[in-house]
Amino acid sequence: MWFQAGYAPYLRAIIVGDDYLAATSQTRGAQSVAALTGPPLAGALVQAVGSATTVLADAASFLISFISLAVLPAARPAPRSEPPASLSAQIRQGLAHLFADRLLRTLAWATASLNLLLTAIGAIEIVFLARNVGAPPGWIGVLLALSGLGGIAGSVLAAPLSRRFGLQRLARTAVIATAPAALLMPLTSHGPGMIFFAFAGPPTSLGIAVVSISFSTLRLQHCPGELLARVSTTSRTLTAATIPVGALTGGALGQLLGNRTALLLLAISYLAFGLFLLATPSLKELSSAPHPDRQAEQPTQTHNNATTANRQADPRAS
């Protein structure tokens, strides 16, 4: 949570111009590459050296993250016109702005709801593949890696799709356009039947990547710079709070209904979430007010980022 509190403001501080869509697409692409290579590597390590040593290797890999963060250049803080408020006052201000702003409030609950459903699915999908399907660890890694291909594709396609349809329409429709693929997961069976999971993962991950990029870009565009850290942290705290709820929900459904039935119920819930998001008014009627940080110099700028994706992002944003 501490890392995420600084991530969005730091990203915004190093972006040249307002290429938020390009920057978020690049960072999401890097995450998708990690998601693609991580599962098969984990499966191979489990088979080669065992589960405990694999977890130890994963813990050691965080040293690479620490070194990477240690050598990052410092972003220049925004100039202050008055002394900063107390910490409690800043927290209250961030909460007030998040819940008062219709778009930011919608993005917060939608992200939290999506995360709850995905966490519930993630809590049982590996158990389902191992116990119900009988897939060996190596094949489980391959199947999860195929989902990562969808995430990479979503990171690449987010910018051109935004130019074609507009960012707010993309945010509304990305889930519903890809959610039906999740219904293939419960059909997975041993042997050739594993192809159902292989076809379910990539489209679902593509939709998740596109909606995640769209939501992050809208938040970067819409939120005033001096409030971004507080609003982003509050939103991520709400999202993180759904992780234990989603994990418990998925595990309980798997135990009560069986893993296959639980996956079917969650896939239907994911589809219903896409339909609800499609009809969300605050994403359909996105404000045309200028960017909060640029009202003076760009009075006609709108929140639609379809044109900004044409510009090449500053290399530092990658």
**End-to-end CA separation in angstroms for the chain:** 21
pLDDT at 81: 57
Cα–Cα distance, 96 to 68 (Å, whole number)? 34
Range 84-89, long-range pairs (CB < 8 A, 24+ positions): none
At 32 the pLDDT is 74
Fold of 2-45+90-284: Growth Hormone; Chain: A; (1.20.1250)
Q: What is the reported pLDDT for 22?
A: 75
Residue with tokens 């999401």: 28
Residue 25: per-residue pLDDT: 76
Q: For residues 18 and 291, is the Cβ–Cβ distance under 8 A?
A: yes
User: How many whole angstroms from its chain centre is CA 19?
Assistant: 18
pLDDT tens, per residue, the chain with 318 residues: 677 767 777 777 777 656 777 777 777 778 777 777 777 788 888 888 988 999 998 888 888 888 888 888 776 655 555 666 677 777 777 777 777 778 888 888 888 899 999 999 999 999 999 999 998 888 888 888 888 788 888 888 888 888 888 888 888 888 889 999 999 999 999 888 899 999 998 999 899 988 888 888 888 777 776 777 777 777 778 888 888 999 999 999 999 999 999 999 999 999 999 998 888 776 665 543 344 443 433 333 333 333 333 333 333 333
Structure tokens, 101: 């702003």
- d(CA 208, CA 274) in angstroms, rounded, equals 11
- For residue 12, what are the contacts with CB-CB under 8 A and spacing of at least 6? 20, 220, 225, 228
Domain boundaries, the chain: 2-45+90-284
Taking residue 240's Cβ as centre, other Cβ atoms within 10 Å add up to: 13
In which residue are the tokens 């660890």 written? 137
Quote the distance between the C-alpha of residue 173 and its chain's center.
Answer: 15
Residue 66, C-beta contacts closer than 8 angstroms, at least 6 positions apart: none
